[in-house]
Amino acid sequence: MRSGRHGLQGRIEAGGFSLVELMVTVAVLAILSAVAVPSMTGLINANRLSSASSELVAAVQFARSEAVRRNVRVKLCGTADGATCTKAAAWSGWLVVDESGAKPEVLRALVAPESLQINGPADGVVFRPSGLLSAASSLTVCMPTTNPSSNQRVININISGSARSSSKDGKGQCA
């Protein structure tokens, strides 16, 4: 004869975790988190650098194509306010500007995140109506951190207007 689910013995088997098992699980999770968080930070920083340098390369390509399409000189320049070109080597963002008219026409504008530092020519990069430059130029996107170790992206623009991006280890510094 049986009495309920547990039989005649009256023994009930406990289901669940003991306090020791729970503490071991929490300790393992804490160790895994301590290892994963720095890697995640490096991944996020690398993604921010890559994204900003890709946007800057796209702006170079856009400026070149607009110079050819409009048959005018088009400038890629640094900006501090998102509306006018600055005459500084440190850029807070960039503009693509058609300067052929009486008033410069902003074709595209982007303000960079504050965590990034961008350096380029103080006079900007000017594309001729042929899409060519008068001299090769370079732009640098940098994040002052050692995580990732390659904290700089250098965009080299040759005379033909073609842009290439490469990584550089700035040892945590932005030049």
In tens, the pLDDT along 97-113 reads: 998 888 889 999 999 88
Q: Which domain holds residue 34?
A: 19-168
Whether 75 is in a domain gets the answer: yes
Q: Is residue 9 part of a domain?
A: no
> How many whole angstroms separate alpha carbon 20 and alpha carbon 53?
50
CA–CA distance, 82 with 33 (Å, rounded to integer): 40
* Cβ 114 vs Cβ 128: under 8 Å: no
**Contacts (Cβ under 8 Å, ≥6 apart) of 130:** 67, 68
Please state the domain count of the chain: 1
Q: Residue 117 belongs to a domain with what CATH number?
A: 3.55.40.10
pLDDT in tens, 65-105: 999 999 999 999 999 988 999 999 999 999 999 988 888 89
Q: Is 40 among the domain residues?
A: yes
What is 76-95 written as a DSSP string?
A: EEEESSSSSB-S-SEESEEE
Is residue 116 within 8 A of residue 142, CB to CB? The reply is: yes
Each residue's pLDDT tens digit, 7-64? 556 666 767 888 898 899 999 998 888 887 777 888 888 899 999 999 999 999 999 9
Residue 118 lies in a domain: yes
Residue 4 lies in a domain: no
